[in-house]
Amino acid sequence: MTDGVVIHLDEAGEDKHRAVLRNALNLLPEVPPGTAVELVTHGPAIDLARPGRPTADALAEAMAAGVSLRVCRNSMRSQGLTEDDLVPDAVPVSSGVGHLVARQREGWAYLRP
């Protein structure tokens, strides 16, 4: 049994971020009710979680629909960012790659668009 899906995003770029947000949004109606969908960002991809980005509307739409946004604390630290620099509802995790592995150990599916 899979209880959720982690979507791995570690790339920069508005087009990439927009495409992955659309993937996450489109996935929601395809999974059984109650299945969690987490977008896990690390490295340059955590820029997606900062307010005022061109993808802000697409991110808000995905989150309102049920996508959860996770942000790597290691990446935040190395980029000098704190939680105050992120959009509300973004959830830091101690390590992006560690979180992706932990979720798979729990039986979650993995996507890397």
Contacting residues toward a copy of itself, per CB under 8 A: 1-2, 5, 8, 10, 19, 23, 26-27, 30-31, 42-43, 74, 94-95, 97-98, 100-102, 104-105, 109-113
Q: Rank residues 51 and 94 by Cβ distance to a copy of itself and give the closer one.
A: 94
Decide: 75 and 43 in contact? Cβ < 8 Å. yes
Least distance from a copy of itself to the Cβ atom of residue 52, Å: 26
Dist CA 68 CA 37 (whole Å): 6
Least distance from a copy of itself to the Cβ atom of residue 42, Å: 8
Collapse the DSSP code of 25 into the 3-class scheme (helix H, G, I; strand E, B; otherwise coil) and give the result: helix
Residue 39: Cβ within 10 Å count = 27
Q: Rank residues 27 and 63 by Cβ distance to a copy of itself and give the closer one.
A: 27
Decide: 88 and 52 in contact? Cβ < 8 Å. no
Least distance from a copy of itself to the Cβ atom of residue 30, Å: 3
Least distance from a copy of itself to the Cβ atom of residue 88, Å: 26
Q: Rank residues 1 and 88 by Cβ distance to a copy of itself and give the closer one.
A: 1
Residue ranges with strand state E in the chain: 4-9, 36-41, 67-72, 91-93, 109-111
